[in-house]
Amino acid sequence: MLETTPVAAGQLLREWRVRRRMSQLDLASIAGISARHLSFVETGRSRPSREMVLHLAESLDVPLRERNPLLVAAGFAPTYSATDLEAPEMHSVREALERLLAAHEPYPAILVDRRWELVSANKASMVLVEGVDPDLLDPVCNVLRTSLHPRGLAPRIENIDQWSAHVVDSVRRQIAITGDDELRALERELIGYAEEMGLAIPAFTEASRSIATPMRLRTQSGELALMSMVATFGTALDITLAELTLETFLPADAATAGALFARMHTAAD
């Protein structure tokens, strides 16, 4: 059971600060409080108010899911709920998401949760699953597992060495942000697939990456060069919505754009 004392709350805040590679002075400056006050909060010498806990969590960019444990540790009730996407009160959200996915056609677009499990996809995304083993798609499709699995997209990705490194790097960066243990298990699984293919995954680094890594995918429409773009809901106050990510695969060259438009018109005929 999570301890509910100022010390417990302070320890959690300190862990998030360290994870963000920030000094007490850094965080105090961002939060607009004194370093002395922050030190007292972290050591339990000062009991933070509910507002201060949430303010520090916002300053540390703590995921909504992890803000509730901070509040509980400080002796307050959780603030954020996680509403099932299929719940009646999420009807308008679901409709908006489906419109958003459809608006990206003829480009593939998918909606995933915090662990990269598929929530929804537009019709154009079918190009991404040509030849994929149906067992990888049902009942829950993890899009990263599907992309690197030997029975998934991997055999059709021309630059699988670059793409596998990009995929694993993306997971590692998300782990650095969230500390999610299930993502660590996924990281190990993905590295295992890469090793099966004789690929070496570079060590994780927070240094700047290349501008973009296109996925070069062999399809029935020829080779497509697709750049991935992700978007999240920045103003979400519900955990479910905050953890959704929209990933769009944009054409990296004119030939790919033409092929995707041709596929859309063929499907419409």
Q: Three-state SS for 130?
A: coil
Question: How many Å separate Cα 130 from the centre of its chain?
Answer: 24
Cite the beta strand spans of the chain per DSSP E.
Answer: 109-112, 118-121, 215-219, 222-232, 245-251
- Phi, psi angle pair for 77, to nearest 5°: -75, 150
Judge whether 187 and 171 are in contact, CB under 8 Å.
Answer: yes
Per-residue pLDDT of the chain (269 residues; tens, 9 = 90+): 455 566 799 999 999 999 999 999 999 999 999 999 999 999 999 999 999 999 999 999 999 999 999 999 999 999 999 999 999 999 999 999 999 999 999 999 999 999 999 999 999 999 999 999 999 998 889 999 999 999 999 999 999 999 999 999 999 999 988 888 899 999 999 999 999 999 888 886 655 455 568 999 999 999 999 999 999 887 788 999 999 999 999 999 999 999 999 998 787 65
Q: How would CATH label the architecture of 6-73?
A: Orthogonal Bundle (1.10)
Domain ranges (residues) in the chain? 6-73, 88-163+210-268
Dihedral of alpha carbons 124, 109, 160, 162, sign? positive
- Name, in order, each residue with C-beta under 8 angstroms of 174's C-beta and a sequence gap of 6 or more: 114, 180, 183
Match 């690929």 to its residue by tokens: 199
Q: How would CATH label the architecture of 88-163+210-268?
A: 2-Layer Sandwich (3.30)
